[in-house]
Amino acid sequence: MNALQSVPLNHYILLSAMLFAIGVIGVLVRRNAIIIFMCIELMLNAVNLLMVAFSAHHGDGSGQVFVFFIMAVAAAEVAVGLAILIMIHRNSKTTDIDFLNKLKF
Amino acid sequence: MTQYAFYFLAFVSILCALMVVFSKNPIHSVLYLVLTFFSIAGQYLLLNAQFLAVVHIVVYSGAIMVLFLFVLMLLNLNTEAEPQKSTWLKFAAVISGGLLLITFVASLKGSENMALVQKNPEIGLTANLGKILFNEFALPFEISSILLLSAMVGAVMLSQKEKEAKQ
């Protein structure tokens, strides 16, 4: 069962760091608010992957339960965020964040 | 064997994550993100976290990504004529993201390179996770139900049209 002995723990940390950095770059580069949401999901997933790896390494299931809660919070966040985006698009006909920099319509 | 599977899945996930950021069409971004999520689910399977792998596929690829696709097609944003940031701003963003990555990697420098050994391989099975979830984390579980309920109410409240305010 412990066939994972060949993969070092550092490589999991590297993979998560790269996914997280790609998410940060996406948030900084793109102007479409929906793509920015997707990059935030990517960052959450990087953290989830690292938490599962550490949970498996320590033999403690609490980390995986925590990932479960992160998924619930992410689902709630996406539902509310996309509702806000639909409302913004209905009022201003755009999802461009450079247009939405005044905290009002 | 699992070693090659890990590196293959890592390669696929990083490639697809890059394509999410740099593809012009938002629909393509969503589809690449689905691929990224599937490869991360494969990583969970390699870590013997079967329950989380299934929940990840169901929640992320099944629910969240369909919601994204639905909103993109509802708002009719599946065009490639999206306004782009200026080249200098993009360059600065990539540089700062790369610096963040360098910071993460540099913090690993002094750590010993130990292999991931699963002390208790049964930990990710559904029965064991359920025992932990309903013994130690029963209160957060109930609170998360309130969170989901309030998110549902909030989404419905936000997305309905304000008829009273306009009259």
Nearest to A79 among B56, B119, B151 (CB): B151
- CA B166 to CA B145: how far, in whole Å? 34
Mean pLDDT of chain A: 86
Query: What is the third-level CATH fold of B1-76+108-124?
Result: Four Helix Bundle (Hemerythrin (Met), subunit A) (1.20.120)
Q: Which residue has the higher pLDDT, A92 or A50?
A: A50
pLDDT confidence band for B149 (50 / 70 / 90): very high
* Per-residue model confidence (pLDDT) at position A38: 92
Residue type, A29: V
Mean pLDDT on B112-128: 78
> Could you say which of B14, B71, B104 has the minimum Cβ distance to residue A34?
B71
Contact B118 A6 (CB under 8 A): no
- Assess whether pLDDT exceeds 70 at residue A8: yes
Contacts of A7 in chain B (CB under 8 A): 2-3, 6, 115-116
Residue B49 has a pLDDT of 87
Of the candidates B16, B100, B65, which has an alpha carbon nearest to the alpha carbon of residue A34?
B65
Residue A105 has pLDDT above 60, yes or no: no
Q: Do A28 and B93 lie within an 8 Å CB cutoff?
A: yes
**Which residue of B8, B71, B82 to mutate against A (max A Cβ within 10 Å)?**
B71
Q: B98: which chain A residues are within 8 Å (Cβ-Cβ)?
A: 21, 25
pLDDT score, position B166? 52
Indicate yes or no: CB of B29 within 8 angstroms of CB of A64: no
A48 interfaces chain B, CB cutoff of 8 Å = yes
Fold adopted by A3-104: Helix Hairpins (1.10.287)
Give the model's confidence band at A1: pLDDT under 50 very low, under 70 low, under 90 confident, else very high.
very low
* B113 residue type, one letter: N
More confident residue, B36 or B162: B36
For residue range B92-107, list pLDDT tens digits in order. 999 999 999 999 999 8
User: A9-13, A22-26, B20-24: which has the highest mean pLDDT?
Assistant: A22-26
Sign of CA dihedral A52, A56, A58, A63: positive
Across residues B113-134, what is the average pLDDT?
A: 81
Could you tell me the pLDDT band of residue B121, with boundaries at 50, 70 and 90?
A: confident
Q: Is A74 on the interface with B (CB under 8 A)?
A: yes
SS3 content of chain B, % helix, strand, coil (to 5): 75, 0, 25
pLDDT in tens, B78-93: 666 666 778 888 899 9
